[in-house]
């Protein structure tokens, strides 16, 4: 996770253009997809998977990376 934090901090220090936001949103989606796959393998409940994915989405949003930033 520290690599993700480092990358987020690096991106945040730069001017957030639409390409950067799109790239980071793609990373967020990839992480959430991996959580869903792990959730199936580890037999996590839908609630647990949704909560973990929400944590990822919130972490990115707290750095200014969300769909509404693309508008």
pLDDT tens for residues 59-68? 999 988 887 7
Four-CA torsion 54, 55, 56, 60, nearest 10 degrees: 100
pLDDT tens for residues 6-38? 777 766 655 567 788 889 999 999 999 999 999
**Domain limits, the chain:** 20-70
The two structure tokens encoding residue 24: 């980071």
Q: Taking the model in full, what pTM does it have?
A: 0.72
d(CA 60, CA 71): 16
């Amino acid at each position: 996770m520290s690599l993700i934090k480092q990358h987020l901090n690096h991106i945040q220090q730069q001017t957030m253009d639409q390409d950067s936001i799109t790239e980071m949103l793609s990373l967020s989606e990839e992480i959430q997809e991996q959580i869903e796959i792990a959730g199936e393998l580890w037999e996590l409940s839908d609630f647990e998977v949704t909560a973990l994915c929400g944590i990822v989405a919130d972490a990115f949003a707290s750095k200014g990376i969300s769909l509404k930033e693309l508008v």
